[in-house]
Chains A and B, each alone.
Chain A
Amino acid sequence: MAYDVLIVDDSPAMRSFIGRVLGLTGMEIGERLEAGHGREALEILGRSWVDVILTDINMPVMNGEEFLEQVAARGDLKTVPVVVVSTDSTGTRVERMMSLGAKGYVKKPFSPESLREELERVLEVSHG
């Protein structure tokens, strides 16, 4: 099954970078949706099917924390895992994201392998 992915980051170049690394993971990727901030992401989530979300933390309009809160508040999105993608490597911000319901975390820059590992973990892909 191909996974539909939503990439949330305010940097368009970063979105294409992430998209490219996604392509290099060897995973089967279906739709690749993009949003520049949390609010835009919520709009997309309202109208498109998404299997997994990759989100930045620092963004204008609606940042990653608020976005996670909103996602958590919506029952229909409970099954959509969120992976935090950020340059803030350690400490409180990531911890806070996890406590808000993020399922995984990768630090920018990341290799296709580490992204795949994290995605497979949160998507509970079984290696049969």
Chain B
Amino acid sequence: MRREWEARIDSVAAQFVLGEAASVGPAAEALAWIRQEAGREGWDEISRLAARIAERMATSPQWHTEGALAEGLDKLRRAVEAATAGDAAVARKPNELAQDPGLVNDFILETRDHLTSIENDLLTLDREPSQPEALHSIFRSFHTVKGLAGFLEFDSIRALAHEVETILDLARNQQLAITPAVIDVVLESADYLKQEMNRLEAGLSGAQPGEAAPVGGLVARVQSLDRPCSVAALPDPLLPPAAPARTDAPSSSPEPPAPASAAAPPPVPAAAQAPGEKFSVRVDTQKLDHLLDMVGEMVIAQSMVRQDPELAGLRSPRVTRNLTQLSRVTVEVQKTAMAMRMMPVGQLFHRVARLVRDLSRKMDKPADLDMSGEETQIDKTIVEELADPMMHMVRNSLDHGIEPAGDRLAAGKSGRARIALRATHQAGHILIEIEDDGRGLDRDRILAKARGRGLVGEGQTPSDNDIYNLIFEPGFSTAAAVTDVSGRGVGMDVVRRQVAKLRGRIEIHSEPGKGTVFQLKLPLTLAIIDGLVVGVGGERYIVPIFAVQEMFRPTPEMLSSVKGQGEMAMVRNRLLPVVRLHRRFSVTPRTREAAESLFVVAETGGRRFCLMVDEFIGKQEVVIKSLGEGMKNIPGVAGGAILGDGRVGLILDLEGVYGEHALA
């Protein structure tokens, strides 16, 4: 085996003594073999050295006279000698490590961490190709994944990671420019790893994992990135002419001209080194949820003790003081536990960034993405559940909102579109905005369509904003042509429903020719709800406060009965349906006279209605308790809560409450 290696090196060396008759072809072939085999063996330095020698031979017309190259070749020979001396003899044994689910799981978790940071760093590089720290970090991630895969003998992963590492190493040494094409292939490699992690994970949970997906094509594409590609001969259609894949001015200088030394990498920022110093523990989400549940119980137990009439009867300053201390500590524990479920919304943004990048290239609509407020913390479940709706909205923006570059230029706009993602805190809520600078919504077309579908009566003239919000109605799509990106009928109504499920609201603002803004208002956490506690008979119900528009005692003049639509109330010149909560839940109310009851105007899914109740008890933050399997799917009930006085209240799911009414 060692022979073979030496033969290849000899064949490269032979070209140097041929003088003018030297030909780069056989040498390049031999070096490619060395590179590939070294990669397979895991001898990275040899592989990289061979690549560098090949590269220099290809770019220097007088290569056979260069002493430096001959020296490099000698170095390669020594390295190969050293490498083949020992390792070759070691026979492989069946892999015991890969049989250990614990180790494989460690591998999956860690690789996924790396994949997240790889994606973020790639998007950074896409914006600023000369970001040495991002490049370095991607390199390290692939390097680590390769090392781990080597131990487990996941060969396809190792081979791919090795090739990507090689490419990134060239880029680190300023021998390869980071072009969109490079980023594409590296992203694709990350996708492959992601897919493999899912496959391995399925294998761990007992499913038949099947074979690793074929990786050869991808490996070849990664390798082709650093072909001393005479750019002229093989123009890459993806590349703007101004940015050739590499700087290969024919020159005998060892390095491509200047920028290398001029742009000496700045010192590593401290933040990039932080992960090593900041320790964290991975916790199963289920355990965390259980902890939160128990904290909820504790908060309630604590409030029950505080409100206990017997204890209050003691009038003991010491008991009062200790109880105050207890509640202070309880609140602190609750806050901390809640904070554990929070994560920065940036993770979500980065997924969107990836989508914008892919789509804008696919649709040939150049677009830049601005992000702000990525560090804003929000409930983990919201981040997860919001991914699909966000993707959908951004897809819509790019597909329908953003005009083709030509149209934009004609309209006096920049040819590059701008999409902005913003997250901000707002008094107990988080506001997420998605803004584009596209053509805006087509008011007249939406209105025409809404009239056609009977959503707006002929006589009615809704405000612009009301018209825009019609796009959230089920089945509403004005896309003239169905593209493969959006317009498949799953529409914005799904987005609104998903957002409502997270107890959030969505609004849209648009200006013709200027663009569109989607505004998502979401609760910070799903574990606590700010509610209006109302009473019907002896029961307590909690109406989520974000849905409450107003509360009042109706006068008889406001009430009417419309044929076919049941009871209605005229509120601020709008006729709203009335839902009697006692009827809905079959309880005996204190009064059946609407004029003696109280009305809560609630809004859900864009519709308003009046909820008839006996009394308002107050506003309270309640910890949501799941009702357990048996009661999970009762329409109109979102969950239960134990109130401060120890009584149980049902949290209303307004969509369900209203839906049942509409069907009746």
A contact set with B: CB distance below 8 Å = 10-14, 16-17, 20-21, 24, 36-37, 40, 58-61, 87-91, 107-109, 111, 113-114
Cβ A88 vs Cβ B45 within 8 A: yes
State in angstroms the CA–CA spacing of A10 and B102 once bound together: 19
| B134 interface residue per 8 A CB criterion | no
Given known contacts A10-B276, A11-B147, A36-B276, A90 and B46 CB-to-CB distance under 8 angstroms: yes
State in angstroms the CA–CA spacing of A10 and B277 once bound together: 11
| B132 interface residue per 8 A CB criterion | no
Q: B45, B107, B147: which contacts A90 (Cβ < 8 A)?
A: B45
In chain B, positions 310-335 with a C-beta closer than 8 Å to chain A are: none
Chain B's nearest CB lies how many Å from the CB of A110?
8
Chain A's nearest CB lies how many Å from the CB of B546?
41
Cβ B100 vs Cβ A20 within 8 A: yes
Contacts of A109 in B (CB 8 A): 42, 147, 150-151, 153
Query: Count the A-B residue pairs with Cβ separation under 8 angstroms: how many?
Result: 86
Q: B79, B100, B148: which contacts A14 (Cβ < 8 A)?
A: B148
Cβ A17 vs Cβ B45 within 8 A: no
Cβ A58 vs Cβ B143 within 8 A: yes
Cβ B93 vs Cβ A17 within 8 A: no
Cβ A60 vs Cβ B93 within 8 A: no
Residue from the set A10, A20, A24, A88 with the largest chain B CB neighbour count within 10 Å: A20
By Cβ-Cβ distance, the 6 closest A-B pairs, closest first, are: A109-B150, A60-B276, A13-B106, A13-B110, A109-B151, A61-B276
Q: Mark B138-168, 1 if CB is under 8 A from A, else 0.
A: 0010011011101111000000000000000
Cβ A111 vs Cβ B93 within 8 A: yes
Contacts of B109 in A (CB 8 A): 13
| B275 interface residue per 8 A CB criterion | yes
Closest to A59 in B: B276
State in angstroms the CA–CA spacing of A107 and B152 once bound together: 14
Cβ A24 vs Cβ B96 within 8 A: yes
Cβ A16 vs Cβ B106 within 8 A: yes
State in angstroms the CA–CA spacing of A21 and B79 once bound together: 27
Contacts of A16 in B (CB 8 A): 102-103, 106
**26 chain-A/chain-B pairs, Cβ below 8 angstroms:** A11-B144, A12-B110, A13-B103, A13-B107, A13-B148, A14-B148, A16-B106, A17-B106, A17-B151, A20-B97, A21-B151, A36-B276, A60-B275, A61-B277, A87-B44, A87-B147, A87-B150, A89-B44, A90-B45, A91-B49, A107-B42, A108-B42, A109-B42, A109-B150, A109-B153, A111-B90
Contacts of B107 in A (CB 8 A): 13
Contacts of A37 in B (CB 8 A): 276
Chain B's nearest CB lies how many Å from the CB of A120?
16
| B476 interface residue per 8 A CB criterion | no
Contacts of A13 in B (CB 8 A): 103, 106-107, 109-110, 148
B contact set with A: CB distance below 8 Å = 42-46, 49, 79, 82-83, 87, 90, 92-93, 96-97, 100, 102-103, 106-107, 109-110, 140, 143-144, 146-148, 150-153, 272-273, 275-277
Chain B's nearest CB lies how many Å from the CB of A121?
13
Given known contacts A20-B100, A107-B87, A114-B90, A12 and B106 CB-to-CB distance under 8 angstroms: yes
State in angstroms the CA–CA spacing of A114 and B276 once bound together: 29
Chain B's nearest CB lies how many Å from the CB of A39?
8
Cβ B103 vs Cβ A89 within 8 A: no
Chain A's nearest CB lies how many Å from the CB of B76?
10
Q: A14, A20, A87, A89: which contacts B46 (Cβ < 8 A)?
A: A89
Q: A12, A59, A90: which contacts B79 (Cβ < 8 A)?
A: A90
State in angstroms the CA–CA spacing of A1 and B96 once bound together: 26
Chain A's nearest CB lies how many Å from the CB of B106?
4
Contacts of B153 in A (CB 8 A): 109
Cβ A58 vs Cβ B140 within 8 A: yes
Chain B's nearest CB lies how many Å from the CB of A70?
16
Contacts of A108 in B (CB 8 A): 42, 147, 150-151
Cβ A87 vs Cβ B143 within 8 A: yes
Chain A's nearest CB lies how many Å from the CB of B486?
39
Closest to B47 in A: A89
Contacts of B144 in A (CB 8 A): 10-11, 14
State in angstroms the CA–CA spacing of A89 and B40 once bound together: 13
Cβ B42 vs Cβ A89 within 8 A: yes
State in angstroms the CA–CA spacing of A13 and B430 once bound together: 36
